[in-house]
């Protein structure tokens, strides 16, 4: 029986994995420049954490989680990164360390969704979080890092959309206005949206249901209901982005409609992605740490989809550098040369060279053919007679020249 890969997942083969490694090293380099430290949390958490952390009126929690029971506990594979980091921040009392706490992660995420281009069931995110700052400079730094990272990769036509979704202070009045607006159509809303009408009506604006969309048209906008503090914060953010020279568009339709999300919401959108156009989404969540049981700690962060990022790079024809082939292939003919070659490979590897030798027991001709295909820079051919004389044949694979050379001169030669 052939066992296939689960739907919505992908193998990352060596022909692709170098791209991931390259991307990850760019992420680590960017995070280091901004002073973010890596945090690694478990692949699964108690289901309750996500229900509270992401919000139990969201699609992710209501429909998309990989939840399983074991020993009468309900556990869930991470659908996103923030909740786990928040749990860890509280549990390890990271709030007692000098603030702000600045963390980044590169993780697989799991969501049971319909497969589409740029939409998988296991996908990967680069995320960052800043804890402890109420100041909009933190938001500007989070957005600035994403901008710096993405433009640094050569993606220069991204659109940054920003919005403010207010705070518990101003959201009450807005909520009422939104409910009043939607109420005449309550019976015609989707079942999911009916369920959200009382608990979290802002989520209805995010619905993909065509009827919900129709009735949401012309709905009141949070941005028109902001309290003085939220208004001032939004002005601060815009000023900071201006100072950083980062272009943006105010988009009142961005809803990250969770109760704990506050003020800043933003998305980076790419025209290269088709329907799944958002490559990075983030915002402020001043009340999440409290909600999960910690002390009041304002926070802001983003999550960036790495599959979508690679799709953009591909669409733009941005080349990811291929790793170099190996330095030396050692081909041998005869028993004594074979043993010598084994040891010689070990010595060269100890000096830092990447070395391939035959482990298939092939004849010399087949070894040389393999050497040709393995992108080796040099091939060393060792035969019995030559070994007797203390020489080998060194073949320069780039220009197909070869010469006899003393064994103890090889390193000097290939080092050049």
- Smallest separation, CB 118 to ligand ATP (Å): 6
Closest by CA to 233, choosing from 300, 295, 145, is: 300
CA 278 from centre of chain? 13
Please identify, among the stretches 162-170, 232-240, 276-284, 402-410, the one whose residues bind ligand ATP according to the rule CB under 6 A. 276-284
SS3 95: helix
| 402, β-bridge pairs | 395
- Smallest separation, CB 303 to ligand ATP (Å): 4
Binding of residue 281 to ligand ATP (CB under 6 A): yes
**What string marks each residue from 112 to 151 as x (binds ligand ATP by CB under 6 A) or -?**
-x----xxx--x-x--------------------------
Find the residue with minimal CB distance to ligand ATP.
305
# of chain residues touching ligand ATP (CB under 6 A) = 17
Instruction: Please report the sign of the dihedral spanned by the C-alpha atoms of residue 113, residue 118, residue 121, residue 127.
Output: negative
Sheet holding 159-164, edge to edge: 37-38, 101-110, 122-131, 299-305, 278-284, 262-269, 159-164, 249-250
Please identify, among the stretches 23-31, 38-46, 221-229, 300-308, the one whose residues bind ligand ATP according to the rule CB under 6 A. 300-308
Peptide bond into 405 cis (omega under 30): no
Binding of residue 81 to ligand ATP (CB under 6 A): no
**What string marks each residue from 166 to 195 as x (binds ligand ATP by CB under 6 A) or -?**
------------------------------
Binding of residue 280 to ligand ATP (CB under 6 A): yes
Binding of residue 305 to ligand ATP (CB under 6 A): yes
- Smallest separation, CB 108 to ligand ATP (Å): 11
Instruction: Please report the sign of the dihedral spanned by the C-alpha atoms of residue 271, residue 273, residue 274, residue 277.
Output: negative
Of 111 and 175, the one with the shorter C-beta distance to ligand ATP is: 111
**232 contact partners, CB below 8 Å, separation of at least 6:** none
Q: What angle do CA 252, 253, 257 make, to 5 degrees?
A: 105
Considering only residues 276, 354, 393, 402, which one is a binding residue for ligand ATP as defined by CB under 6 A?
A: 276
- Smallest separation, CB 58 to ligand ATP (Å): 9
Q: What 8-state DSSP symbol labels residue 223?
A: G
Binding of residue 283 to ligand ATP (CB under 6 A): no
Q: How many helices (H) and strands (E) does the chain have?
A: 15, 16
Quickly tell me which residue has 């060279």 as its tokens: 353
- Smallest separation, CB 109 to ligand ATP (Å): 7
Residue 258, both tokens:
């969770």
Question: How far is 345 from 343, CA to CA, in rounded Å?
Answer: 5
Which residues form the interface with ligand ATP (CB under 6 A)? 80, 111, 113, 118-120, 123, 125, 276, 278-281, 303, 305, 307-308
């Amino acid at each position: 029986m052939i066992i296939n890969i689960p739907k919505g997942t992908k193998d990352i083969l060596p022909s692709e994995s170098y791209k991931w490694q390259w991307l990850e090293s760019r992420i680590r380099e960017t995070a280091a420049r901004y002073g973010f430290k890596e945090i690694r949390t478990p692949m699964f958490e108690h289901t309750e954490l996500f229900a509270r952390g992401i919000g139990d009126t969201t699609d992710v929690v209501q429909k998309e989680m990989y939840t399983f029971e074991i020993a009468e506990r309900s556990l869930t594979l991470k659908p996103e990164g923030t909740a786990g980091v928040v749990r860890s921040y509280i549990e390890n009392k990271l709030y007692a360390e000098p603030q702000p706490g600045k963390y980044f992660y590169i993780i697989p995420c799991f969501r049971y969704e319909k497969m589409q281009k740029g939409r998988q069931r296991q996908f990967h995110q680069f995320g960052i979080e800043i804890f402890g700052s109420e100041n909009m400079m933190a938001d500007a730094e989070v957005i600035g890092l994403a901008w710096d990272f993405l433009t640094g990769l050569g993606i220069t036509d991204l659109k940054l959309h920003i919005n403010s979704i207010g705070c518990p202070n101003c959201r009450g009045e807005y909520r009422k206005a939104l409910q009043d607006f939607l109420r005449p159509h309550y019976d015609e809303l989707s079942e999911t949206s009916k369920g959200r009408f009382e608990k979290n009506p802002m989520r209805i604006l995010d619905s993909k249901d065509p009827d919900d969309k129709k009735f949401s048209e012309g709905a009141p906008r949070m941005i028109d209901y902001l309290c003085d503090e939220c208004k001032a914060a939004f002005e601060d953010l815009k000023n900071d982005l201006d100072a950083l020279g980062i272009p943006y568009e105010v988009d009142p339709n961005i809803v990250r409609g969770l109760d704990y999300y506050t003020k800043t919401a933003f998305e980076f959108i790419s025209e290269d992605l088709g329907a799944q156009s958002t490559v990075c989404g983030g915002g402020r969540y001043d009340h999440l740490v409290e909600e999960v049981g910690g002390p009041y700690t304002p926070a802001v962060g983003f999550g960036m989809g790495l599959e979508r990022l690679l799709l953009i790079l591909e669409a733009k024809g941005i080349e990811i550098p291929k790793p170099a082939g190996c330095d030396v292939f050692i081909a041998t003919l005869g028993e004594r040369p074979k043993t010598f070659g084994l040891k010689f490979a070990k010595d060269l590897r100890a000096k830092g060279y990447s070395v391939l030798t035959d482990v298939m027991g092939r004849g010399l001709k087949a070894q040389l053919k393999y050497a040709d295909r393995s992108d080796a820079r040099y091939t060393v051919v060792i035969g019995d007679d030559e070994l007797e004389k203390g020489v080998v044949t060194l073949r320069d694979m780039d220009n197909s020249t070869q010469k006899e050379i003393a064994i103890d001169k090889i390193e000097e030669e290939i080092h050049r």
